[in-house]
Amino acid sequence: MLNVAHQTVGLGQENTYVVYNDEKNALIFDPGAQAEDLIRWIDQNEWKPQAILITHTHYDHIGAVDALRDHYGIEVYVSDIEKDHLNDPELNLSARHPQQVSARPAEHTWTESGQQTVGDFSFRIEFIPGHSSGHVVYFFDEEGFAINGDVVFNGSIGRTDLGGGGYVPLIKGIAEHIVTLPGDYILYPGHGPQTTVAEEIKTNPFFEMFRRNEMHEVNPENKE
């Protein structure tokens, strides 16, 4: 059985997740800031991290990567499309902030979607660009949950004005990979509270086309 825990960190109130099993082996997702607090939290719960997995490389999701990888002696996985963003403040969007963020290159990169195994954990990854160019969502289908970064929020979707591809690919990715999931499938977003697929189809204003069962009604001329 897998469990999910999170800490909200940084000025952007980013959710850092830990997915752990009965043996307390764990994966860390998007350690965004406040490294000392995250280490204290992980150690207090006696979790044993096996790797760091990144959904996307915006600065608020990677600020504590190096501190945690060094403290636990673990390796980092990131989309191959965004591998150069980790150590480039312009690309990770921290260049215009008072404190620029940079992390060393990842040891591993995702180059294709599908089933993956890291340590004790098996999951499926899909690339859903739009918010960022190489955004990855991690699906734990047997357990019925996803670490979905900034693709879908409770009642909203990720911004599409940050050079990551735009509205059309994001909505298409949601149509192909999120809306098709069971209604009780849990979504753990990068900001804000968790939600479910059914709840978002019912209440999310960006999901109106899905409520009308018009999943392919995406007009690139009007939505860019």
Pick the more confident residue, 96 or 16. Answer: 16
DSSP SS3 for 66: helix
Look at residues 195, 190, 132 and name the one whose alpha carbon lies nearest to residue 165: 132
Q: What is the pLDDT of residues 87-99, one digit of tens each?
A: 999 999 999 888 8
Q: Average pLDDT over the chain, rounded to whole?
A: 94
pLDDT band at 221 (very low <50, low <70, confident <90, very high): very low
Give pLDDT, residue 211.
78
Overall average pLDDT of the 143-149 stretch: 99
* Mean of pLDDT values over 2-28: 98
Q: What is the mean pLDDT of residues 9-29?
A: 98
pLDDT at residue 218 is higher than 50: no
Does this model's pTM top 0.85? My answer is yes
Q: What is the pLDDT of residue 212?
A: 73
Q: Give me the pLDDT at residue 216, please.
A: 44
CA-nearest of 135, 213, 141, 151 to 184 is 141
**Residue extents of the structural domains in the chain:** 3-215
- Within 8 A by CB and 6+ apart from 69, the residues are 52, 75, 76, 104
Over 60: is that where the pLDDT of 214 sits?
Answer: no
Amino acid letter for position 37: D
Across the strands, what pairs with 117? 122
Q: What is the pLDDT of residues 34-50, one digit of tens each?
A: 999 999 999 999 999 99
Over range 208-221, report the average pLDDT.
59
Q: Which helix (H) or strand (E) holds 3?
A: strand 3-9
Query: Over 90: is that where the pLDDT of 215 sits?
Result: no
DSSP annotation of 165 reads: B
Q: What is the pLDDT of residues 157-208, one digit of tens each?
A: 999 999 888 999 999 999 999 999 999 999 999 999 999 999 999 999 999 8
At residue 62, does pLDDT exceed 60? Answer: yes
The CATH number fitting domain 3-215, selected from 1.20.1420.20, 3.40.710.10, 3.40.50.2020, 3.60.15.10: 3.60.15.10
For residue 119, the number of C-alpha atoms closer than 13 Å in the C-beta half-sphere is: 21
Q: Identify whether the C-beta of residue 102 lies closer than 8 Å to the C-beta of residue 88.
A: yes
Task: Give the position of tokens 């991290």.
Answer: 49
CB of 110 within 8 A of CB of 80? yes
